[in-house]
A and B are shown apart, each in its own frame.
Chain A
Amino acid sequence: MLVLSRKKGESIIIQDHIEVTVLGVEGDTVRIGISAPKQMDIFRKEIYLSIQESNRESAAHTQSNLDALRKMINKNNEK
């Protein structure tokens, strides 16, 4: 991990196209501005992790879960 210090208003350039600027610091919160190409996805890490986790959980469905779902669909269709 690269460790460096920046002051408010100073930036970091990553691979020509990504610029990370420190917009301000308040207590232990740092506001960061990121300019990056549009196709580059930028996420808060905890949100990205929660989506990964949710997807892994969703992919782990079992035959019995699916059967239960089918039963529910059939029941609804009968109504």
Chain B
Amino acid sequence: MIISTSIWGDIEVNEKEVYRFEKGIPGFEETTEFVLLDQDEAPFYYLQSLQQKELSFVLVDPFIFYPEYEFELPDSETEELEIESNLVVRSILTLHEQVESSTINLLAPLVFNPDNRKAKQVVLHQSPYSTKHSLQPTKEDETIRSKEGE
């Protein structure tokens, strides 16, 4: 199928890459259909809205930047997304003019179920993470890690 985007113009996407965010994404609750694009720029990915061509997010594989990143996906979320074994975790990047000062949202990862193409931004409760972690881990993050390891 062909979709319109502000960034790439009209592009052809595979329907297998289309995900449904049943509850939208906080701040954009009305938008439920997104396509997860992999433009050969791993670990960076793009999430493009099907309904609003100007709405897109830059995503990263958080484990590449924070190998010790971990969270417990609550049973309620696993059930809601009907996750059996397959899942993909991506984090939203906030880009800055100085690309090095861009930040990763580790507090609210996006969880995708490739089997049924349901997805959700999961807000982690009782988590040491925040919405703004540096692309380059800082000393502060090291502290979180060592605390986590205790």
Residues of chain A touching chain B, judged by Cβ–Cβ distance below 8 Å, are: 38-39, 41, 43, 47-48, 50-59, 61-66, 68-73
B96 within 8 A of A: yes
Task: Give chain A residues whose Cβ lies under 8 Å from the Cβ of B92.
Answer: 54-55, 58
Question: Is A69 a contact partner of B123 (Cβ separation < 8 A)?
Answer: no
Question: Is B27 a contact partner of A55 (Cβ separation < 8 A)?
Answer: yes
Given contact pairs A39-B76, A50-B131, A55-B92, a sample of 13 additional A-B residue pairs in the complex whose CB atoms are under 8 Å apart: A38-B79, A38-B80, A47-B107, A48-B26, A51-B27, A51-B121, A55-B57, A59-B28, A61-B57, A62-B95, A65-B102, A70-B41, A72-B99
Task: Give chain A residues whose Cβ lies under 8 Å from the Cβ of B105.
Answer: 51, 54-55, 58
Tell me, in angstroms, the Cα distance from A66 to B57 when the chains sit together: 11
**Distance in Å: Cβ of B120 to nearest Cβ of chain A:** 9
Tell me, in angstroms, the Cα distance from A65 to B75 when the chains sit together: 37
- With both beta carbons as reference points, the residue of chain A lying nearest to B43 in the complex is identified as A73
**How many chain B residues have a CB neighbour from A under 8 Å?**
33
**Distance in Å: Cβ of B111 to nearest Cβ of chain A:** 13
* Of B55, B58, B131, the contact of A51 (CB 8 Å cutoff): B131
Residues of chain B touching chain A, judged by Cβ–Cβ distance below 8 Å, are: 7, 23, 25-28, 41, 44, 55-58, 75-76, 79-80, 92-100, 102, 105, 107-108, 121, 123, 131-132
* Of A39, A51, A68, the contact of B107 (CB 8 Å cutoff): A51
15 A–B pairs (Cβ distance < 8 Å), ordered by A: A41-B123, A43-B123, A47-B107, A51-B105, A58-B57, A58-B95, A59-B27, A59-B55, A61-B95, A62-B95, A64-B97, A66-B95, A68-B99, A69-B58, A72-B100
